[in-house]
Amino acid sequence: MKTSSFSRSGADPRAVAISRTRPKGWTGRIYEPLAPSWRLLEAAKSGEIDEAEYVRAIFRVVFTD
């Protein structure tokens, strides 16, 4: 597994999107259970939580839910 971006790996047939939104025209696979919730994204963008708390929250989603 590796991380990338839509612009870099969007044409790779093995690419899987794990984001809440995707670029217009995305035709690849999608796996939303690994995407952060809208609430978590809003909290991170607004500064309500810092990067460390964001990472802890993502780990909880991926490894316990």
For residues 51 and 55, give the distance between their C-alpha atoms in angstroms, rounded to a whole number: 6
Q: How much is the pLDDT for 25? A: 85
pLDDT at 65 over 80: no
Question: How do residues 1-23 score in pLDDT, each as one tens digit?
Answer: 677 888 888 888 899 998 989 99
Rounded to two decimals, the pTM is: 0.71
For residue range 34-60, what is the model confidence (pLDDT) as tens digits? 888 999 999 999 999 999 999 999 998
Quote the pLDDT of residue 29.
92
For residue 16, list its beta bridge partners: 29
The amino acid sitting at 50 is D
